Amino acid sequence: MTRTAIVTGGTRGIGAAICLKLKAAGHRVLANYAGNDAAASAFADANGIDVVKFDVGDHDACIAGLADAERLAGAPIDILINNAGITRDGMFHKMSREQWDAVIRVDLDSLYNTTRPLIEGMRERGWGRIVNISSINGQKGQMGQVNYSAAKAGVIGFTKALAQESARKGITVNCVTPGYIATEMVSAVPQNVIDGIVAGIPVGRLGEAEEIGALVAYLCSEEAAFITGSTLTANGGQYMV
């Protein structure tokens, strides 16, 4: 059955791969983005996926943006992928309030901002899929990323609690925690650092965005209806829980 899906931060990296896998599964997909108009336009043109621009860290903007997305799709949104995220790294003893607030707003507050406007409709219709993208560093922590690790750990707690509330309404809520994936962000890291990261990954390589996309697409399928409240790690064995 065709459903309508929206992927936040959906025009690049992991988000783009998720969009393409959901489209391949037969869903009507919309990709949210925050600011890079050129990249969003190129993604839309290349893949036939509509894009909607709004800041996931802004509550009012999310309400308006999601309403626009549903009008554009001509159908209510039944699949929500909370993928958008940023980093503002720094050692905590030197971290500014601006660095802290920016990451918490975009990486954690955004889950309320995007999920709250959609959850009542999902409950009324008796079906929904919510997949939240956390991180390996939300599980194990990471030096220089206290803000990011805190936000991504919060994503896991959000997932578990909302899954309990929503299960009897036909809504599954799950979390995917990628390890180091070969995206533009990781590729910008110096090669010697990447080599050190790969040395600590038992499978001996970085992950591919398409691998995360495939996992998310499965969680959104009818076949995954018995999976909810789960945190699925995809990190090549780097951190096992």
- Rounded Cα distance between 119 and 166, Å, is 9
7, 14 Cβ separation under 8 angstroms = no
- Rounded Cα distance between 100 and 147, Å, is 5
- Rounded Cα distance between 182 and 86, Å, is 16
113, 80 Cβ separation under 8 angstroms = no
Q: Is residue 180 among the annotated active site residues? A: no
Catalytic residue among 112, 148, 180, 218: 148
Token reading at 23: 């489209």
Element (H, E) at 5: strand 4-7
Instruction: Give catalytic residue positions.
Output: 148
